[in-house]
Amino acid sequence: MVAVRLADWLARRAASDGPRLAVVAGDARWSFAELDRRASATARRLVALGVRPGDRVALLLPNGPEWAELVFGVGRAGGVLVPLNVRLAPAELAWQVGQVAPRLLLHSSATERLARSALEAVPGAGRDASAGADGSDGASRKVPGVQAVMALSVEELATVPEGPGTGEPRPVALEEPHSILFTSGTTGRPKAVVLTYGNLWWSAVGSALNLGVHRDDRWLANLPLFHVGGLSILVRSVIYGTAAVVHERFDPEAANRAVDEEGVTLLSLVATTLARMLEARGERRFPPSLRTALVGGGPTPPVLLERARRLGMPVAPTYGLTEAASQVTTLAPWEAARKPGSSGRPLLPTEVRIDRDGRPAAPGEIGEILVRGPTVSPGWLAGPQGPLSPLVDADGWLHTGDLGHLDDEGYLYVVDRRDDLIVSGGENVYPAEVEAALLSHPAVEEAGVVGVPDPLWGQVPVAMVRLKPGQDVSPEALVAHCEARLARYKRPRVVRIVEEPLPRNAAGKLQRHRLRERWDVLRTAG
């Protein structure tokens, strides 16, 4: 069988739509031709630094235009992209660097100290005797069993002489690794997931078949670009020939302004950023030019979705994960009234099924969500030199650890993480359902629910709640608010009002393992 190969996405787009706008980021406004030129120059510099096919290039950068030229420049050099979370502590980053052993770690001036601290903290790392010979100003660190890791700023990279005869567009095989992304780590240590060019290609195709592509689309990228939801916006925009509008960070006023004044037609949000955007907007309706707002990162409270729709935002709840290159299912905005609470049907050609105790679940039965198809990663890294650990079972199904059910038309309803399930007196309690009830109270800004041990019931749900500014409501009143909305065994046994924001990762997902730790600290303190 002849291997399927893909032409260089950016080169094809530059050839057909060179003058069209590709990237808007701050003062930068690059056409596809300009982005193509920059990607080739970046690739030649990377090759000059010693990056060879298969080498990993880590990025520790805030959102910015540099991301676009590096995403495509690393690929042209034959490298594998490794986006790193700029919000991690040095020890956390050190562990990730040790897992992937990059040849080069690129940082900005803002993240230079973090990058160097992380390299110093890599277990067993030592300074490489040849540091400095490759233009790395002596900042290389030796990771056990692998080559030295160079640390270089993007400003320094721009001054590296370009290697001749390199950096040209090249076809890639579908199975060739494109990037290694770390999972969000909401339940423990993140995994280093390998995504191929084929994974990202089929994800883009599935999204386009579901939502369509308009020639004047502009997709706002204010999610962190080191997460799959942000990175996929850059990739898809080049595949589609549309513009990516990159914001350095999420700012609700800036996001609203991008929709109202800057022609943004597509948004990618999580529940917390959606809530902040709506809060900043007040009662102003969204313009008809906004055609879709994807909302993922976990179940979204119905009250929030309803408010968005009332203001004219065409909300599309979605379910996805890093291991499946972002979207798995998406509910088209025009289906919202008919399928409230659903995350939609699987994007073509992805399959979804529900596993109930080792058998396919009947419609309406809750079980583990399984995913199969060409967007699913070939595996995750168990170490810098080890083989890939496969993510799928013998039949090709990815066991996500998430709980949900399908209706009789194949629409998915996500319930919660399996690890977060609370079993109280033999009954299943899903934290997201309890959180939604608490969030329906007009005074509540954030709510997080976890299970704690109970001698009678095994576990009971408890909640931590942060109120909106200027609001005052008692824990007892919040429990009473849940009485008309939840069965008795689902109601939080204890509610604690807290002032600090609840723990979330960079993508806005609630980290319930950290919430449990915080609860234990508060309980011990009395």
For residue 90, give the CATH number of its domain.
3.40.50.12780
Give the C-alpha separation, 320 to 344, whole Å: 11
410 and 447 co-located in one domain: no
Q: Which of 308, 352, 312, 305 is nearest to 328 (CA)?
A: 352
Q: Which pLDDT score, from 0 to 100, does residue 134 have?
A: 42
For residue 9, being part of any structural domain is answered with: no
Say how many C-beta atoms besides its own lie within 10 A of residue 336's C-beta.
20
Q: Which of 166, 164, 240 is nearest to 206 (CA)?
A: 240
How much is the mean pLDDT over the chain?
91
For residue 175, being part of any structural domain is answered with: no
Q: How many domains are there within the chain?
A: 3
For residue 177, being part of any structural domain is answered with: no
For residue 18, being part of any structural domain is answered with: no
Residue 482, SS3 per DSSP = helix
377 and 470 co-located in one domain: no
Whose tokens are 């005052």? That residue is 472
Q: Note the pLDDT tens digit of each residue in 102-157.
A: 999 999 999 999 999 999 988 765 454 344 434 444 456 565 544 578 999 999 99
Domain ranges, residue 34: 25-170
Q: Which of 212, 219, 264 is nearest to 237 (CA)?
A: 219
Structural tokens at position 338:
């008919």
128 and 198 co-located in one domain: no
466 and 444 co-located in one domain: yes
Q: Which pLDDT score, from 0 to 100, does residue 133 have?
A: 35
State how beta strands 315-321 and 326-330 pair: antiparallel
Q: Where are the alpha helices (DSSP H) in 219-362?
A: 228-240, 252-261, 271-281, 302-310
Residues 6+ apart with CB under 8 A from 245: 24, 25, 218, 219, 220, 221, 258, 262, 264
Q: Which pLDDT score, from 0 to 100, does residue 143 have?
A: 58
408 and 464 co-located in one domain: no
Structural tokens at position 426:
């033999």
CB 79 within 8 A of CB 246: no
Return the percent helix, strand and coil in the chain, to nearest 5.
30, 30, 40
Distances from the Cα of 257 to the Cα of 234, 284, 387, 468, angstroms = 20, 12, 47, 23
Give the C-alpha separation, 183 to 203, whole Å: 17
∠ Cα 107 113 119 (to 5°) = 75
CB 202 within 8 A of CB 104: no
Q: Supply the DSSP symbol for 335.
A: G
159 and 91 co-located in one domain: yes
Q: Which pLDDT score, from 0 to 100, does residue 103 have?
A: 95
Give the C-alpha separation, 337 to 339, whole Å: 6
Phi, psi of 210 (to 5 degrees): -85, -45
Q: Which pLDDT score, from 0 to 100, does residue 471 have?
A: 95
ω into 349 cis (within 30 of 0): yes
For residue 1, being part of any structural domain is answered with: no
510 and 372 co-located in one domain: no
166 and 217 co-located in one domain: no
Which segments within 114-213 are labelled E, that is strand? 126-127, 141-142, 148-153, 172-173, 177-182, 192-196
Instruction: Answer with the one of 376, 394, 419 that is the final residue of a domain.
Output: 419
Give the C-alpha separation, 287 to 123, whole Å: 52
The count of residues in the chain is 526
Instruction: Answer with the one of 376, 392, 419 that is the final residue of a domain.
Output: 419
Instruction: Answer with the one of 388, 419, 450 that is the final residue of a domain.
Output: 419
319 and 380 co-located in one domain: yes
473 and 334 co-located in one domain: no
For residue 178, being part of any structural domain is answered with: no
What is the full per-residue pLDDT of the chain (526 aa) written as tens digits?
667 899 999 999 999 999 999 999 999 999 999 999 999 999 999 999 999 999 999 999 999 999 999 999 999 999 999 999 998 888 889 989 999 999 999 999 999 999 999 999 887 654 543 444 344 444 565 655 445 789 999 999 999 999 877 788 999 999 999 999 998 655 557 889 999 999 999 999 999 999 999 999 999 999 999 999 999 999 999 999 999 999 999 999 999 999 999 999 999 998 889 989 999 999 999 999 999 999 997 778 888 999 999 999 999 999 999 999 999 999 999 998 899 999 999 999 999 999 998 999 999 999 999 999 999 999 999 888 777 899 999 999 999 999 999 999 999 999 988 888 898 887 888 899 899 999 999 999 999 999 999 888 888 999 999 999 999 999 999 999 998 888 889 999 999 999 999 998 877 888 888 898 898 887 776 5
379 and 436 co-located in one domain: no
Give the C-alpha separation, 14 to 37, whole Å: 9
Give the C-alpha separation, 401 to 390, whole Å: 15
466 and 360 co-located in one domain: no
CB 486 within 8 A of CB 433: yes
CB 85 within 8 A of CB 134: no
CATH code at position 457: 3.30.300.30
For residue 339, being part of any structural domain is answered with: yes
Q: Which pLDDT score, from 0 to 100, does residue 301 have?
A: 83
For residue 369, being part of any structural domain is answered with: yes
Q: Where are the alpha helices (DSSP H) in 77-111?
A: 90-100
Q: Which pLDDT score, from 0 to 100, does residue 136 have?
A: 43
